[in-house]
């Protein structure tokens, strides 16, 4: 059975490894790799990504609306074209 102190050390080591891994994923030219700095940069990056995601969602919605409008216009033009062809044939 592992003693409490050993479990706590294992937990700290695991957290330190995770912080190191996270720090390596961030910008390579970082001056400091303290935990607070890593968390601050990670939070900033996540906020930027969430903002980009929201922007892309809005852009996607706009594009879908435009696509729907273009499809409707195309269908109307095809209908008009069909009517004109029938008139020409008659």
Domain residues for 5? 1-89
Structure confidence at residue 1 (pLDDT):
60
Place of tokens 């990056």: 45
Distances (CA, A) of 55 to 24, 39, 45, 50, 64: 28, 24, 15, 9, 14
Q: What tens digit of pLDDT does each residue of 14-66 get?
A: 999 999 899 888 876 667 778 999 999 999 999 999 999 999 999 999 999 99
Number of domains in the chain: 1
Average pLDDT of the segment spanning 8-14: 94
């Amino acid at each position: 059975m592992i003693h409490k102190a050993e479990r706590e050390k294992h937990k700290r080591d695991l957290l330190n490894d995770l912080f190191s891994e996270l720090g390596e994923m961030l910008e390579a030219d970082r001056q400091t790799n303290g935990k607070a700095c890593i968390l601050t940069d990670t939070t900033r990056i996540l906020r930027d990504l969430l903002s980009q995601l929201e922007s892309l969602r809005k852009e996607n919605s706009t594009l879908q609306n435009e696509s729907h409008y273009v499809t409707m216009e195309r269908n109307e033009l095809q209908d008009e074209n069909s009517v004109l062809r029938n008139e020409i044939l008659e």
